[in-house]
Structure formats: C-alpha cells, structure tokens
C-alpha cells in the first residue's frame, strides 16, 4: 500500500506530517498522507493514509486505504482496506470494507466491516402461502406424526 524509497519517503507521497509538526483544522487532499505527528480536526483523502507509531490524531478520518500504527481518537471511515498494527489504538467507530487487525491492537467503539449491499435479503416467512396437500399426502403426514 505504501512504497517507500531509500530516503524514507516516496516522492509520490503528497503529504507528510512529521513527528515535530502539529496540524490543526480540516485537512482535505486528493493524494496520499503520512502522519507521524499530532493532528486535530478532520482528515479526508481519496487515497491512502498511513498513521505512524507515536502519532496522535484527534479527528474523524476518511480515506480509501489506511494503515494505522498510532492513536486515533475519532471515527474512522475507510472505503477499502483498514489495517491496524499491534501498536494501533482506535477510540471511535470504524466503518470499513476490509479490516485486518493484528494481535495487540486496541479498538474501543462500534465496528462495521463489509458492505451493506453484500448482505443476503431477509426472508419473510409470514407472507408465505399455505401449501395445500392432496388427500393421500395428508394421510402420510398424519401417520408420520403418530409414529
């Protein structure tokens, strides 16, 4: 999901919030985001989000894919894949397509995984019509009940 070069970060990465930087407010972008610092407000991206270990996010988060190793206090909405590493802490509701959660990851909140559309339709038995049996079938059924 995140490819990095020898210098640490790929040049394709549009936004990097380092460990010594604080971001406050609504941050909306179309590119990838790597957060290693402190963020409060809201984060939205149409692409990938990486939350590094040691980073703290006090915000609602929305992205296509996310890899979380730090702490998020807020709701997380991921359209495709969310990966929580062993150091991840999420205090908020999660809604994602796919969830991968490592042992040790912390989650406090509601969690909805998968798409609502993929759920099978509920069968309503109350509306099912009574099946009329022929006289012979009716006798067989009564005999079976007696046995």
Spatial separation of the C-alpha atoms in residues 15 and 35, rounded to whole Å: 8
Q: How many CB atoms lie within 10 A of CB 108?
A: 11
**Minimum CB distance to another protein, residue 12 (Å):** 10
Residue 72 binds another protein, judged by CB under 8 A: no
Closest CA to 14 of 24, 26, 27: 27
Q: DSSP 3-state assignment of 74? A: coil
Site for another protein in 18-47 (CB under 8 A): 18-29, 31, 36-38, 41
Q: Is 137 in the site for another protein (CB under 8 A)?
A: no
7 binds another protein (CB under 8 A): yes
79 near another protein, rule: CB under 8 A: no
Task: Say how many residues make up the chain.
Answer: 147
State how far the Cα of 70 lies from the Cα of 59, in Å rounded to an integer: 13
- Kindly tell me which of 28 and 106 has the beta carbon lying closer to another protein: 28
Size of the site for another protein (CB under 8 A): 25
Stretch that binds another protein, among 16-24, 68-76, 115-123, 134-142 (CB under 8 A): 16-24
Tokens describing residue 30: 């179309």
Coil/strand/helix, residue 120: coil
To another protein, the closest distance from the beta carbon of 24 in angstroms equals 5
**Choices 9-17, 69-77, 109-117, 118-126 (CB under 8 A): range interacting with another protein:** 9-17
d(CA 135, CA 88): 67
Q: Which residues bind another protein (CB under 8 A)?
A: 7, 9, 11, 13-29, 31, 36-38, 41
């Amino acid at each position: 999901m995140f490819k990095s070069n020898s210098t640490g970060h790929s040049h394709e990465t549009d936004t990097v919030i380092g460990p010594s930087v604080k971001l406050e407010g609504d941050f909306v972008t179309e590119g990838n985001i790597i957060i290693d610092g402190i963020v409060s407000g809201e984060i939205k991206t149409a692409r990938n989000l990486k939350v590094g270990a040691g980073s703290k996010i006090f915000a609602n988060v929305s992205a296509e894919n996310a890899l979380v190793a730090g702490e998020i206090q807020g709701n997380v909405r991921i359209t495709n894949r969310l990966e929580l590493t062993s150091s991840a802490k999420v205090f908020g509701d999660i809604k994602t397509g796919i969830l991968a959660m490592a042992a040790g990851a912390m989650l406090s909140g509601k969690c909805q995984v998968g798409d609502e559309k993929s759920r099978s339709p509920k069968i309503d038995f109350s509306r099912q019509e009574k099946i009329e049996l022929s006289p012979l079938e009716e006798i067989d059924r009564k005999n079976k009940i007696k046995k």
